[in-house]
Structure 1
Amino acid sequence: MAISMFLNFLFPPPPSLFVTTMSVIAVVSLANAGFNEVKGKHLNYSKFWNVNNAIAKKQMKKLSSRNGMLLLYTPAFLAGAASFWVFPDESFRSLILQGAVLFVHKYSGSMALDSAIPITLSYFLSSATLIYAQNLSIDLPEPAIDLLYPGIALFLVGIIGNFYHHYLLSKLRGKGEKEYKIPKGGLFDYVICPHYLFEIIGFYGFSFISQTLYGFSFALGTTFYLLGRSYATRRWYLSKFDDFPKNVKAIIPFFF
């Protein structure tokens, strides 16, 4: 019954072993990464860029925030840009999705190269697969329930909320300051990772726009990962700051 209702929101799955396999990989790999974050096995970026191995970090190649951002998002950006040439004259839904993929997030904080490479590959493959899965749906029957415009609204809310809270983070330190502080303002008064919350909202915007199995699979996997990452982040703040407010949750206000 629940599966039947869920299928009302999706294009029929295309006969593509690649897309089906990638849908499974997206959920399993990202959920596993989120579980590892909870266990303390972090991807090495931002405040966790060097916490996994105190000896290995001396030999670890460190990327600046600017170089990390370029490495992470340039391949995905190029995939989105190239899609307008590879798949011209697509549907309005496809054009919206391709345009949304072009948006480059702002990243702040240092990053280890050994974490940057798999993250870059993930962004590139997810962007390319999202666009490819959409292309395969062109001649398929439209979903019974159209989520295109709610998806656009969710995407815009996610992008704006993510940008605003990254802006607050960028203003947290004065010129020359490098130490971490407890973020204030916006939803930081309720959760320590509101930027992750809005990132999740943005990814569900992608999935609503696409209404493909892969789109929802990647959004679900991203949810699992960022839940784990935000839990680890809150635990880190509690360990570093005695005055960290206990009522501030990880990612969902008043709940988690």
Structure 2
Amino acid sequence: MPRFAANLSMLYNEHDFLDRFAAAARDGFKAVEYLFPYAYTTEQLAALLKAHDLQQVLFNAPPGNWDAGERGIACLPGREAEFRDGIAQALAYARALDCPRIHVMAGLVPAGQTRESVRATYVANVAYAAAEAAKLGINVLIEPINERDMPGFFLNRQDQAHAIVAEVGAANLKVQMDLYHCQIVEGDLAAKIRQWLPTGQVGHFQIAGVPTRHEPDVGEIHHPYLFALIDELGWDGWIGCEYRPRRGAVPGGTSDGLGWMKPYLA
């Protein structure tokens, strides 16, 4: 049976961030993920997780200057020291929150560079992050993201990500398989799941409806079929709900759209 984690950066936006933990628990979620924890103390977040009996299953390492449009710095030459400081900060949070995985965003290919010209920087940074995380028993995830949502993002395809995981060769380096991004870039989701899940290199799933990134019961993907396939292949990890509720940030907007999840809570 699939296990779903509420992405608190996208869901429950009718509430202040720290109130979203309670809202997710009320709706039956047992786990949460979000983009970044760094605006809050580990003590604040750990207390909320404990109070609402929630597991923290994922968050992102620092992405550079997010407000200025940066989407990770792992592929940016000359930012290695900043990257390493960010990994140290992320791992400190992960340890305090008992979070078993962190996502390291690749970043946008810099102007005047190509994917090939920055690939060595990316691979070296990812290898460093995996080595540091391994000391704490934490997994590092890398995620292919579509260029419609993030033009110029370094990593776009599942085969690219899996090739990098194989090249680095760290047992704790995994691919974050976001089916929303995968559908937009590649399609053929069932075949991609059958291809990559048995390799042991998939560390987390995320979902959203395509093309609007609303609830997974909206759009061109038949998620119940994919959930059954993921079960059939023996997946016992989490599936992150990283979508924008159709009703937006109105009272009850997230909860009213969770009918798709009720069969899996029984």
TM-score calculated relative to the size of structure 2 = 0.27
More strand by share: 2
TM-score calculated relative to the size of structure 1 = 0.28
Which one has a bigger Cα radius of gyration?
1
More helix by share: 1
